[in-house]
Amino acid sequence: MNDVIKPVPKNEILSLFSVPVGNYTLSRELTKKELAFIIKQPQRNNLGNTTSTNNTILERKELSSLKKLIFEKVLEYFNQVYSPKYQVSLRITQSWINYTKQGQFHHKHRHPNSYISGIYYVDTIETDKVFFHNDRSQMIDLPPTSWNNWNSKTWWIEGTKGNLILFPSYLEHNVETLNSDHTRISLSFNTFPVGTIGEEQDLTGLKLEG
């Protein structure tokens, strides 16, 4: 494998294999029609809250403009983080709305069968904390005097109205119990690569059509 960029310098502590989490703001707010469409969606029970019965919500024409804005940021994140060698892009596979009322929560989970996932905050008056968890096994527990990039097991990002958070789909995350009586509404989605993936000579070559 010829993927080593440079040797590790001596007498330094480096952050190797960092997990990229993107935090963006879209170029415009939702229109009244878009918000009304999202609010009125039929719902089903989820573990801790409810979710829309429609799990391809971004394919609806009512949200076509929003999908375009979100996808622009997804591609920006994808190209900056992964810098693909060959002609490869992403497509949004599933997308759905989450509704969390007072006393409800969004359980700890990850997104299988997806490459990059995202959360877009549609409506919230309470500053949320999206918690991301380090699931690398630590067999010896040594409580630190202070937390840093290497010993932290959990990080959180503020989720405010209009925020778009992007992350690798394997990254475990959750949102804690809502205290406000104002329903928290977010839009989540998954993606999958399309195009030329891997290397033919490494026997990892794969061509996926969108």
Domain span at residue 199 reads: 22-134+154-208
pLDDT at residue 3 in the model: 62
pLDDT at residue 70 in the model: 98
Residue 17 resides in a domain: no
Whole-structure pTM value? 0.92
Cross-strand pairs, 192: 91
Residue 30 resides in a domain: yes
Q: How far is CA 59 from CA 54, 55, 68, in A?
A: 10, 9, 11
Distance of CA 127 to the CA centre of its chain: 18
Are the C-beta atoms of residues 165 and 105 closer than 8 Å to each other? no
Residue 70 resides in a domain: yes
The candidate with the shortest Cα–Cα distance to 67, out of 151, 189, 174, 169, is: 189
Tokens at residue 2, please? Answer: 């010829």
How much of the chain exceeds pLDDT 90, in percent?
A: 78
Element (H, E) at 72: helix 64-82
pLDDT at residue 4 in the model: 60
Residue 168 resides in a domain: yes
20-73 pLDDT, tens per residue?
999 999 999 999 999 999 999 999 999 999 999 999 999 999 999 999 999 999
Kindly tell me if the per-residue pLDDT of 5 is higher than 80.
Answer: no
Average pLDDT of the chain to the nearest whole number? 92
Residue 195 resides in a domain: yes
Structural domain count, the chain: 1
Are the C-beta atoms of residues 33 and 82 closer than 8 Å to each other? no
- The answer to which of 11-20, 81-90, 189-198 has the lowest mean pLDDT is 11-20
Residue 141 resides in a domain: no
CATH of the domain at 74: 2.60.120.620
